[in-house]
């Protein structure tokens, strides 16, 4: 596919339009869904919304369900202090299996997507959430939390209210967060971990692997709703693209933090949703209705903890991928700035064909997914055409949408069993 011409230096219009569209869809969906559901959660997760005194993800989720759970921190090469939760074994395993510090089970690192955090893997019931299912099947589970999210908002020297703290895009997750967390898990377990990502978590992994970064450090990678290309994101985005309020978005997002729950962003969302033609209610219905097997009370619990902030640079970077139809490093737009950062006037591309053909990959995607659209997954699969057939498994689930893979009650039977067989095959 030929690269689209870059409209330079009018980057901002296109980039902001696309950023706005992504933002509006995600946020309208989450905010309105939050308004509709009744706060009826109970049991292990009956905790206050966004406590000022964080008790830690383990204490809020895994421990009440009876799992061993350890809080770890990983400091990245650029000083971000990331929180990682470890569930070293299942509920019913003796302490001998996967003992603390020397997990006997195969380690698996779970990487969440954009605008959420590692809690995504931990909020459902033990019968439904992937982290618990893996632990109960004998895996040593490590849950990543990307910089800037609730449990990973510290830095050795920067304050998270400063612009400097938020000066990163997903390229930085490729070169810092991912390798630093993988190294940490390897060191603690004396084993190479498997990787499992959802949504932007898969983009970071694919980009890393394409540069040869994690190839010899991971046993395999399972990618749920793989995101590389974004050019086919469908209807709601398309509708909203035409309606982006560029000026307002820029004035709100002048800050370098992109926090969906900040009053400025919330206000913007409300205004955008009120705009004629932007039917946020319909968007929600599409968003949740197209998901195949979401449990409403699970979604309710999810919305108590999500969404989470990211950097505006990450949102712009995703928008550039949407606009350009290629997966590249962050585009600083001005050729001289790109020159200074990359030694060339355009940002370098990530070439997914460069992922070594023997690296074990599992990809699972859904026919109703409007973010990881099947047409875009098709482009990725085209790039992986030369991959060793015995080392790539591709699963297509026609009725699944984006969130089914993480929150769906049917993911266990349809997806997680396959993931576990795949991991066991490449142990």
| Residue nearer to ligand NAG on the CB measure, 349 or 421 | 349
Check binding of 353 to ligand NAG (CB under 6 A): yes
Closest separation between CB of residue 127 and ligand NAG, Å? 7
Site for ligand NAG in 332-351 (CB under 6 A): 349, 351
Closest alpha carbon to 194 in 87, 98, 108: 108
Run of H or E residues at 83: strand 80-87
- Which of 64, 191, 409, 412 is close enough to bind ligand NAG by CB under 6 A? 409
Contact predicate 74/180, CB 8 Å:
yes
Counting residues that bind ligand NAG (by CB under 6 A) gives 11
Measure the CA–CA gap between 65 and 58, rounded to whole angstroms. 10
Name the minimum Å distance from CB 165 to ligand NAG.
Answer: 34
Question: Catalytic annotation on 78?
Answer: no
Q: How far is the CB of 352 from ligand NAG (least distance, A)?
A: 8
Q: What is the DSSP letter of 378?
A: H
Task: Respond yes or no: is residue 317 known to be catalytic.
Answer: no
Pairing of strands 257-258, 310-311: antiparallel
Q: Which of residues 284-313 bind ligand NAG (CB under 6 A)?
A: 295, 297-298, 301
Question: What does the DSSP assignment read for 97-161?
Answer: TT-TTS--SPEEEEE--TT--GGGGTSS-TTT-HHHHHHHTT-EEEE---TTSTTS-EESS--TT
* Window 221-240: residues binding ligand NAG (CB under 6 A): none
Residue 58 beta carbon to ligand NAG: minimum distance, rounded to whole angstroms: 18
Per-residue burial over 297-335, b if 16 or more Cβ lie within 10 Å, else e, is bbbbbbbbbbbbbbbbbbbbbbbbbbbbbbbbbbbebee
- Residue with smaller CB distance to ligand NAG, 41 or 112: 41
Q: Which is nearer to ligand NAG, 114 or 228 (CB)?
A: 228
The answer to whether residue 125 forms part of the interface with ligand NAG (CB under 6 A) is yes
Check 286, 369, 383, 404 and give the catalytic one: 369
CB-nearer residue toward ligand NAG: 239 or 357: 357
Which lies closer to ligand NAG via its Cβ, residue 315 or residue 403? 403
Q: Considering the rule CB under 6 A, would residue 47 count as an interface residue with ligand NAG?
A: no
Nearer to ligand NAG, 325 or 335 (CB): 325
Contact with ligand NAG (CB under 6 A): which of 354, 358, 421, 424? 354
Catalytic, out of 198, 324, 402, 404: 402
Closest CA to 268 of 256, 281, 251, 285: 251
Q: How many CB atoms lie within 10 A of CB 242?
A: 10
Asked about 161 being catalytic, the answer comes back as: no
- List residues binding ligand NAG (CB under 6 A): 124-125, 295, 297-298, 301, 349, 351, 353-354, 409
Q: Which residues participate in catalysis according to the annotation?
A: 199, 369, 402
């Amino acid at each position: 596919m030929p690269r689209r011409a870059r409209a330079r230096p009018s980057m901002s219009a296109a980039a902001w339009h696309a950023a706005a569209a992504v933002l509006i869809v995600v946020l309208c969906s989450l905010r309105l869904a939050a308004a509709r559901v009744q706060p009826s959660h109970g049991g292990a997760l009956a905790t206050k919304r966004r406590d000022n005194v964080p008790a830690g993800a383990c204490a809020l989720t895994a421990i009440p369900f009876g799992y061993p759970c350890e809080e770890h921190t990983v400091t990245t090469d650029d000083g971000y202090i990331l929180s990682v939760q470890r569930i070293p074994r299942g509920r019913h395993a003796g302490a001998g299996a996967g003992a603390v510090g020397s997990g006997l089970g195969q380690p698996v690192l779970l990487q969440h997507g954009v605008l959420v955090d590692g809690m995504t893997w931990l909020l459902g019931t033990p019968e439904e959430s992937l982290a618990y299912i893996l632990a109960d099947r004998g895996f040593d589970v490590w849950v990543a939390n990307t910089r800037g999210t609730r449990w990973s908002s510290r830095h050795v020297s920067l304050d998270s209210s400063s612009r400097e703290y938020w000066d990163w895009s997903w390229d930085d997750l490729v070169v810092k967060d991912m390798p630093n967390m993988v190294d940490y898990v390897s060191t603690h377990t004396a084993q190479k971990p498997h990787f499992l990502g959802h949504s932007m978590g898969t983009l970071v992994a694919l980009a890393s692997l394409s540069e040869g970064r994690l190839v010899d450090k991971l046993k395999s990678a399972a990618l749920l709703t793989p995101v590389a290309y974004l050019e086919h994101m469908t209807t709601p985005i398309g509708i909203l693209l035409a309606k982006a309020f560029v000026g307002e978005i820029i004035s709100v997002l002048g800050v370098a933090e992109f926090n969906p729950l900040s009053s400025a962003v919330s206000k913007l969302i409300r205004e955008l949703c009120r705009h004629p033609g932007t039917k946020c209610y319909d968007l929600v219905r599409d968003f949740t209705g197209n998901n195949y097997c979401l449990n409403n009370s699970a979604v309710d619990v999810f919305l108590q903890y999500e969404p989470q902030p990211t950097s505006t640079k990450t949102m712009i970077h995703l928008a550039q991928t949407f606009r350009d139809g290629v997966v590249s490093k962050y585009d600083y737009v001005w050729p001289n700035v790109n020159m200074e950062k990359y030694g060339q006037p355009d940002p370098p591309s990530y070439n997914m064909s460069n992922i070594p053909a023997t690296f074990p990959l599992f990809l699972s995607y859904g026919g109703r997914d409007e973010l990881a659209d099947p047409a875009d997954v098709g482009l990725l699969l085209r790039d992986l055409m030369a991959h060793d057939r015995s080392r790539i498994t591709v699963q297509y689930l026609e009725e699944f949408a984006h969130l089914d893979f993480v929150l769906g009650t049917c993911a266990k039977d349809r997806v997680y069993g396959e993931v576990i067989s795949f991991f066991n095959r490449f142990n």
